[in-house]
Amino acid sequence: MAEAEQQIQSVWTREPARSRRRDQPALSREQIVSEALALLDAEGMEALSMRKLGTRLGAGATSLYTHVANKEELMELITDAVFGELTPPVAGPDGWRPAMLAFSHDLRELMLRHPWLSSVLGEMGLLYLAPNMLRLNESVLSLLEDAGFAPADADLAVTVIFSFVIGLALSEAAAQITIRRSGLDEVDWYRKLMPAAEIAARPYPTLHRRYLNFSEKTAVPDADMSRIRTENFDLQIGRVLDGLDPEFRAGR
């Protein structure tokens, strides 16, 4: 009994408590998560509170605690629901790499679609136990092992791909939040930022050349920052997949 009491529980392995009040509307975890996700996507993290969410659901904040112990658990449920939007990769006739390239792009687009994730993912300590995350990890590991990766290499590849894509997308999403708050479109924001960035980088010649190059890209009348960012990501994730490819490494 003492050993069982010491077990660490997650929101996915613990049954929600039952409400004792019959006058409260019946709510499900799915309803709570769906409404919370809509609120986050519309207004961002600063808008989410248990009280406000309860009001939107027509229920008291206390009724939400029959399903989650606290706001942190709610965020874990919401975050896993978001990852449920991803389709597990499946290898086609061309092998594992095109499937993982497409999955990496889907993962990046997911992060940009829900930019509030940039402020919470680092706090999701038990997210790896969430059902959608388990499903995604299982599918990626199976795909890689079926393609001939040794189990240790498949584990490494999963860690590297998720860490790289999520880390890069978090930074990208945070920048998008800043740009939206400015009221400018992305190209105008960078055009207004680049003169100050160029001046700041002058003492650092190697870095300064890169700022000048980026400034030239944003100065083009029909500059498409979304396309530029996607093309850069495609090159970057391609190098990552090169390094993980057993055949590529064997030929070095």
- pLDDT reading at 1 higher than 50: no
Give pLDDT, residue 22: 54
What percentage of the chain reaches a pLDDT higher than 70? Answer: 87
**Segment 101-136, tens digit of pLDDT:** 999 999 999 999 998 887 787 776 667 788 999 999
Residue 152 burial class via C-beta count within 10 angstroms: exposed 0-12, middle 13-18, buried 19 and up: exposed
In contact, 128 and 79? CB cutoff 8 Å: no
Q: CA dist 232 to 92, 145, 169, 236, 243, Å?
A: 25, 28, 12, 6, 17
**Segment 38-76, tens digit of pLDDT:** 999 999 888 888 889 988 888 877 778 878 888 888 988
Q: DSSP letter at 94?
A: T
Residues with Cβ within 8 Å of 23's Cβ and at least 6 positions away in sequence, in order, are none
In contact, 19 and 70? CB cutoff 8 Å: no
**Segment 169-180, tens digit of pLDDT:** 988 988 888 898
Mean pLDDT of the region 80-87: 95
User: Please, what is the angle between helix 29-43 and helix 71-83, to 10°?
Assistant: 80
Give pLDDT, residue 157: 96
Q: Where are the alpha helices (DSSP H) in 15-129?
A: 29-43, 50-56, 61-64, 71-83, 96-113
